[in-house]
Amino acid sequence: MSGGGSSSTSNTLHSTPPWEYDVFLSFAGKDTRLNFTGHLYEAFKRSGIRTFRDEVDLERGSNIMKNLSQAIEDSLCAVVVISKTYANSKWCLNELQKILDSQKTLHRRVFPIFYNVDPADVRKQTKSFMKAFANHEKKFRKNPSIVQNWRKAFTEIGNVAGVDTRGK
């Protein structure tokens, strides 16, 4: 009898991936929901890329931050669309922090898109970001470490090679 190999017919091409979403899409809705991010989401969908977007995938009546954190962990990668008002939102900043933590602990990939903003302004928190962080510092003056962590996350994402929509 000749041994011609295993009789196992497991096919890894059709197995379920270990993540629920291919992409977690992080963005400030006010700036980009109805234009850039909306088009990006639809393009992902048409391409068969399973994408988490908060207003579509969050279950009504659920704990938002807990579900966002879980969705980030359950995503292969994150696309972070940083626009002029991204830093105004503590939700966006918390998402960004979780995304960067997942990059380190779960080895997830992060792809920043600098939507009509200079990556250097993100890194240094200048221009519109300076005002946003000053407002957060006032709100969280009793717990400044929160804002310090957001600043670190913003500096970190500003240092990641990404797409600059300004064409520079």
- Give the C-alpha separation, 96 to 82, whole Å: 10
- Give the C-alpha separation, 65 to 153, whole Å: 17
Tokens of 96: 């960004």
Q: What does residue 157 show for φ and ψ, rounded to 5 degrees?
A: -70, -30
**Three-class SS of residue 46?**
helix
Pick the catalytic residue from 42, 59, 73, 95: 95
- Give the C-alpha separation, 49 to 46, whole Å: 8
**Three-class SS of residue 140?**
coil
**55 catalytically annotated:** no
Residues with catalytic function: 95
